Amino acid sequence: MSRVYNFSAGPSMLPENVLKQAQEEMLECRGSGMSVTEMSHRSKVFDDIIVEAESLLRELMNIPANYKVLFLQGGASTQFAMVPMNLFRKSKVADFINTGAWSKKAISESKKFGKVNVVASSEGDKFTKIPDFDSGSFTKDADFFHITTNNTIEGTVYKKIPDTGNVPLVADMSSSILSEFCDVTKYGIIYAGAQKNIAPAGLTIVIIREDLIGHAPETVPTMLNYKTHADSGSLYNTPPCYTIYIAGLVFKHIKDSGGIPAIEKINREKAALLYDYLDDSDFFKGTVDPAHRSLMNVPFILPTDELSKKFISEAAARGLVTLAGHRSVGGMRASIYNAMPIEGVKKLVEFMKDFEVKNK
């Protein structure tokens, strides 16, 4: 067996010890005589699994008691619709900051249900930064205010989140959840597809303040109403059981590794290795304003497309895979989520140095 360092933007690497535990428990989990893939979601063993996963996440993120944690399906993309369907209720206006491709999708989905104000955008700068914003321009009576905290495709992250006063702040945290400190109390809703920092695809985590639940119009489908899932402990219908099980193992792994502070420290070291090299090199170049560089997704370019192709294929031959940039940005992107070991980043930087010497 030879495992590679996988720099995919998602689905992405999982911690090796989590995969090993899953392997050990594949045929029989916790004395049940069966695999979690075969288990009723109403069984005692699965109940323990989902309750434990929630309580570990609460502990890791310090989630206050007046927030619900929901385990849903449909990806972050379904939240683009669920948020407006549930939260548009008084002014039917929402403020958005447009920081990239995922923000744009969230904006266009919200427009189907109400009025959207884009109060700041970095589109004019090709999304290479988080735009300046001024709370004076925010809609005072908006039903919610939406941001994409980490922009997976463009490689930017907020260093300071907007102060939206009484307007609930909603954050798409798909590519940065659990990567660094996050003060949950600043948010009305945090949502994230699991396939970047948490688990295989198929699970969406929603952390929602209780007062935002229960106001959806009658016409909202049952499955798209937060109340349905909040009232049933995410067991209204069959949840993505196996993915929740893996998420629980990952949460435990993070806890055993020292929690978010320890993970954040390593993530900062990993990102610094890459960014320091990019800053020093006059061959490779980072594409993002240094003030807003993501800890998770690092896009960079070479002088020509031919060199990029060569780099990506030679890197793959060395076991450094999925380094092609998003089709909208080109060049390269190294996604260095929580589960990417620092050794993987060191190997990548070593290879970049080597490539620079041979090709400059």
Ligand X SMILES: *Cc1c(COP(=O)(O)O)cnc(C)c1O
CA distance 137 to 135: 5
Q: What is the smallest separation between the CB atom of 239 and ligand X, expressed in angstroms?
A: 15
**Residue 267 interacting with ligand X (CB under 6 A):** no
Question: Which value, to the nearest 10 degrees, does the dihedral of the CA atoms of residues 75, 296, 118, 106 take?
Answer: -10
Contact segment (CB under 6 A) with ligand X among 70-78, 263-271, 316-324, 336-344 equals 70-78
> Around 46, how many Cα atoms within 13 Å sit in the side-chain half-sphere?
20
Among 6, 148, 234, 338, binds ligand X (CB under 6 A): 148
C-beta separation of 18 from 250 below 8 A: yes
Give CA separation, 81 vs 74, 113, 176, in Å: 10, 8, 21
Give CA separation, 353 vs 117, 296, 348, in Å: 45, 21, 9
Q: At what angle do helices 305-317 and 342-359 cross, to 10 degrees?
A: 130
Residue with tokens 């109400």: 114
**Residue 325 interacting with ligand X (CB under 6 A):** no
Nearer to ligand X, 127 or 277 (CB): 127
Binding mask 81-110 for ligand X (x = CB under 6 A): ---------------------x--------
Q: Is 102 in the active site?
A: yes
Helices (H), 181-320: 226-231, 241-256, 259-280, 305-317
Burial bucket for residue 217 (CB in 10 Å: 0-12, 13-18, 19+) = exposed
Among 114, 188, 193, 331, binds ligand X (CB under 6 A): 193
**Residue 152 interacting with ligand X (CB under 6 A):** yes
Nearer to ligand X, 29 or 207 (CB): 207
CA distance 32 to 46: 10
Q: What is the smallest separation between the CB atom of 81 and ligand X, expressed in angstroms?
A: 11
Among 174, 267, 287, 322, binds ligand X (CB under 6 A): 174
C-beta separation of 188 from 209 below 8 A: yes
Contact segment (CB under 6 A) with ligand X among 21-29, 82-90, 170-178, 272-280 equals 170-178
**Residue 172 interacting with ligand X (CB under 6 A):** yes
Out of 68, 95, 143, 196, the active site residue is 196
Nearer to ligand X, 113 or 277 (CB): 113
Contact segment (CB under 6 A) with ligand X among 75-83, 107-115, 135-143, 238-246 equals 75-83
The tokens of 347 are what?
């190997």
Give the binding-site size for ligand X (rule: CB under 6 A): 11
Q: What is the smallest separation between the CB atom of 329 and ligand X, expressed in angstroms?
A: 14
CA distance 165 to 135: 9
3-state DSSP assignment of residue 65:
coil
Out of 68, 102, 129, 270, the active site residue is 102
**Residue 162 interacting with ligand X (CB under 6 A):** no
Nearer to ligand X, 75 or 240 (CB): 75
**Residue 335 interacting with ligand X (CB under 6 A):** no
Q: What is the smallest separation between the CB atom of 325 and ligand X, expressed in angstroms?
A: 15
Question: Which value, to the nearest 10 degrees, does the dihedral of the CA atoms of residues 331, 77, 67, 11 take?
Answer: -50
Out of 68, 95, 129, 172, the active site residue is 172
Among 8, 10, 109, 332, binds ligand X (CB under 6 A): 10
Q: Is 104 in the active site?
A: no
Q: Is 129 in the active site?
A: no
C-beta separation of 175 from 9 below 8 A: yes
Q: What is the smallest separation between the CB atom of 201 and ligand X, expressed in angstroms?
A: 7
Catalytic residues: 102, 172, 196
Report the interface residues with ligand X, using CB under 6 A: 10, 75-77, 102, 148, 152, 172, 174-175, 193
